[in-house]
Structure 1
Amino acid sequence: MKVEVDPPLGWLVFNRPERLNAFNTAMMREVLAALDELEGEGDVRFVAITGEGKAFSAGIDLGELAEASRPEEAEKLFSTLATVVDRILGLTKPVIMAVNGHAIGGGAELLWAGDIVVAVRTAKIAWPESLWNLAPPFLPTIGSLVLGPARAAYLALTAESITAEEAYRMGLVSLLVDDPGELGDAVRRVVGKIMASPPAAVESIVAMLRAGKKGWHTQLGVAELKRLSKDTTALEAARSFRDTKKPPDYTRLWRGGRR
């Protein structure tokens, strides 16, 4: 985890490039500490979140999930990620997601917490949670409002990926760049445009944007994710990915076996 302060910007950089910036427990705790640090830094008026290397984030570290011996450990892992999202939504400063590369699973879910999303045009965005007997808590809830119910349902149920350019057309991404090297300048230009307005107006707009993301519908999404994480099928799926790099064959479950 790296924190870089370049007033008025504070950068939070996911720094596990060898694991595609996948979230394990230790990293998520570092993220929470970094968010607290940036919130308390008076010279920081905007927070930008990005990843080191070729990925923004691959989401929850399935390797750590596979090592969980009890479903309760898996639930704790996802609860911590939900806390990260909640902490981002609780910041008093505008948050810009700078998507330098692929955003998968929890990495894609994190984008909903951003006020503005700037992304590399070719970055892949996907919600494959259903393949691991899980559910993305925000795509079917916040996503239905942003993308429309039909698109949100299709992406959540099929686990198909889209590019950032497609996400821009759908309304998830605010601004596109052609190369990761352009992200920093693009974010700074956005900040400059926002600073043409007084802080009070910006704070009011951000508060209204966040209010729609913290309602009962998102609480339902998190509750469903926690419920599914208690099922041993999620652990079995993570172990299958660890051993074969593929999800299990769920055919038996569709033929009347256990869910």
Structure 2
Amino acid sequence: MYEFLKYENNNGVATVTLNRPEVYNALNDGITFELQDALKQVGKDDTVRVVVLTGEGKAFCSGQDLKASSTQEKRSFIDSLHKRYNPIIRAMRNLPKPIICRLNGVAAGAGCSIALACDIIVAAEEAMLTEVFVNIGLVLDSGSSYFLPRLVGSAKAFELSTMGSRIKGQEAYDIGLINKVVPADQLDEAVKTYTDYYSQAPTKAIGMMKKMLNKSGNSTLDEMLEYEAFCQEIAGSSEDYKEGVTAFLEKRKAQFRGK
């Protein structure tokens, strides 16, 4: 199906694996367009309730493939971002389903941005996040200037981005950059804890909550109160709401279908 990705869908869990391990899953033109397509597929597929994004081999994603881009005569950064990277980040944040980052190794540059665009990050202790843009005289892109200060505050975000700091699993957890850190041999089990939950959860409500939280960073309280009311009316008409109430009254566990 894809040349540079692995794609699986098992029991409501879609796993998308960046698959260029020989270059630490660096991002060339092909893999970025394939990732855009894969995100469209999970959005259309009603059987998918949760997405896992990870990397093959030792790395999660080392960022832009500098060797590939150096062979181009004249590279337009703005075109690259508009056509390749920004559509990925927008698709991830607009996807009405949770995305779990299985952070198995280094996430650098745009790879770090992609990790931060996920809804939950579960990292191995030796995994590392680093905003390496400054090391080659570039600025943050692919959403890192948006995500970083919201996760760690403006002062820490400035330090991490302007110094290209390398943040390993435990420190990343301590500063609020990721959700969970575990030994490497427990990574799959830790990710499964989340996918087991989200694959059985009320997906429609979770998708709306994701949209609400995205919106809240640039909205007033009054705007969010109105938006909450709008979304709650939709949620209250869902099959999952009816099932949730019925299960509560019957004193049993709800069997949500994500509708």
| 2:145 pairs with one of 135, 140, 148 | 140
Q: TM-score, normalised by structure 2?
A: 0.76
Superposed displacement of residue 15, structure 1? 0.1
Superposed displacement of residue 71, structure 1? 3.5
Ranges in structure 1 where 5+ consecutive residues have no aligned partner: 216-259
2:223 matched residue in structure 1: none
Q: TM-score, normalised by structure 1?
A: 0.76
- Contact kept? 2:132, 2:161, Cα under 8 Å: yes
Deviations 1:93-125 (A, max 9, x none): 111111111101111111221111111111111
Deviations 1:100-154 (A, max 9, x none): 1110111111122111111111111111101222111333332112101111000
Look at both structures and tell me which one has the larger radius of gyration over its CA atoms: 2
Letter in 2 for 1:98: R
Deviations 1:64-89 (A, max 9, x none): 221221132x4333331121111111
2:32 matched residue in structure 1: 28
Say yes or no: does 1:158 pair with 2:167: no
1:117 matched residue in structure 2: 121
Superposed displacement of residue 201, structure 1? 3.1
Mapped partners of 1:172, 1:32: distance in 2 = 24
1:231 matched residue in structure 2: none
Mapped partners of 1:15, 1:4: distance in 2 = 13
Say yes or no: does 1:78 pair with 2:81: yes
Higher relative contact order (Cα pairs below 8 Å, separated by 6+ residues)? 1
Mapped partners of 2:59, 2:216: distance in 1 = 28
Deviations 1:177-222 (A, max 9, x none): 201x43332222113334665334322321123335799xxxxxxx
| 2:91 pairs with one of 77, 87, 90 | 87
RMSD in angstroms over aligned alpha carbons?
A: 2.0
Mapped partners of 1:196, 1:29: distance in 2 = 30
Mapped partners of 1:23, 1:75: distance in 2 = 16
Specify the SS of the correspondent of 1:47: strand
| 2:215 pairs with one of 211, 214, 226 | 211
Say yes or no: does 1:174 pair with 2:179: yes
1:246 matched residue in structure 2: none
| 1:96 pairs with one of 100, 111, 131 | 100
Ranges in structure 2 where 5+ consecutive residues have no aligned partner: 220-259
- Give percent identity, aligned residues only: 28
Superposed displacement of residue 40, structure 1? 1.8
Letter in 2 for 1:148: G
Deviations 1:202-251 (A, max 9, x none): 22321123335799xxxxxxxxxxxxxxxxxxxxxxxxxxxxxxxxxxxx
Cα gap change, 1:56 to 1:125, in 2 (>3 Å): same
2:10 matched residue in structure 1: 6
Mapped partners of 1:49, 1:88: distance in 2 = 10
1:193 matched residue in structure 2: 197
Cα gap change, 1:183 to 1:6, in 2 (>3 Å): farther
Deviations 1:5-59 (A, max 9, x none): 1121000000000010000001111111111122222211101100000000001
| 2:50 pairs with one of 46, 50, 69 | 46
Specify the SS of the correspondent of 1:56: coil
1:242 matched residue in structure 2: none
